[in-house]
Amino acid sequence: MRKKLIILVIMFSMLTFAFQVIINKIPYNISLNKEKFAAIEIIPPFQNISYIKVITESGTYLADKYDVFENSNGAIKYKGSMVKNIEIVADLLNNKEREVWISWEGTDFIKNYLENYSKLFNVSLKILEMPKISTKLVTMSKSGLKLPDVVMVSAFDFPTYKELGILKDNSFIPFYYDTQVVYVNADLVNLNKLEWTIDEFESICNSLIKNNIKPVAINPISAYWFSTFLMGYGKIPLINNNFILTDDSTKKAIQLIMKWYNKDFFDFSFLNRDAQLAAFMDGKVGFLFQGSFLLPKILEKMDNIRILPLPKPMIPFKDYKGFATTKDGSLEFTMWLSTFLKNPLFEEEFSKKYVKFFDNYISESIPFRDTFIYTSKIAQPIPYDERYVKFHKNIKDILILIINGSISIEEGTTKLEEIVNNE
């Protein structure tokens, strides 16, 4: 036992190392316990960087903020050479307490990452996980209470913040995105290719029905999925000056969904995500149309699955989560926060752990990477638009009325178009 303890202590001491960085001519003693770190991780929050000069045994270099250093048995290396000195000149932000609200997947990871960084320079960062940011933020704003400096935002919440004047500049900085894919039960369906079509999907569904298997778990009457049909039939961008919903694209999308419903490809018992997941993981359906963020959970329970892009012509969303500055925050700090978290070492670890995607970066460690690369080239962002929120809230009820024959397609789409474009 003592021998094991000694080995652990030696390994930790090899990983933990201290060195000095000169920032604006002031020495800072940095202590890290990482095998690798990016230059940006050894700089206090900044507005801009004039230069990062790295002096090594082989020469002097001007480094980029995302350049990576390595820990070699307690010493640091840059470009394979031992580092003698690091000099940085930057315009630093005032060191005041900042509060950041985060949500969705990976909050513990982000929180720990930022808190460990803040200890290096005694930076006052208060990172809070808020499962429902919008609910608390709107209440605080209406009560006149001081708001956090930065909040994570989604397309669904952003229009409300904008309407209530919660945000400083009514904009956001994209952070990561999830996307939409098809999970395939390989025990039931023999299909493995990136490009496939709705005709192929329907043919497989017909075969599954003959074997008394429900083909697909999907909620096509939600805005999240109905939009993939609309975009597939040519509605890109989804919202232009007006959100047109009385056109042929919308009619074709509705007719296709009605066809699938009438052929018993799906039923309304699968509209709930938990019910969809349960059916798929129990082997009761061949396909699951869902978000990429569920991949880690599904892989915990199932081995023989494949992940495919949506069948053509369906077009998936990029469901962005981003950072926005509240009226009590600082735009410069939000810019720094976003820049800091786009460090490639953070992106790699966060991406592979939670199956998240960054613009122009998809981790090589993510399962079914070819599918996500393919999807990234055609996916469209969810509109950060109030009309999409209205669409989201009303599409389900109207589509149910159309599918049940209570109203015609023309009546339903005309009503929906009036609702979403009503100022």
CATH assignment of the domain containing 58 = 2.40.240
Q: What is the CATH number of the domain that holds 281?
A: 3.40.190.10
Whole-model pTM: value is 0.90
259 & 314 share domain: yes
Residues 238 and 309 in one domain: yes
- 168 shares its domain with 199: no
Q: Are 284 and 383 found together in one domain?
A: yes
Same domain, 287 and 337: no
pLDDT digits over 67-107, tens only?
999 988 778 999 999 999 999 999 999 999 999 999 999 99
The verdict on 212 and 288 lying in the same domain is: yes
Q: Is the dihedral of CA 16, 22, 26, 27 positive or negative?
A: positive
**Which domain, by its residues, includes 7?**
2-92
What's the half-sphere exposure (Cβ side, CA atoms, 13 Å) at 71?
Answer: 20
Q: Which two tokens stand for residue 101?
A: 């609200």
Separation of alpha carbons 149 and 324, rounded Å: 9
- Quick: pLDDT tens for 2-49: 444 444 333 444 456 788 999 999 999 988 888 999 999 999 999 999
26 and 165 inside one domain: no
pLDDT in tens, 155-204: 999 999 999 999 999 999 999 999 999 999 999 999 999 999 999 999 99
**382 closest CA partner among 179, 102, 160:** 179
Q: How many domains does the chain have?
A: 3
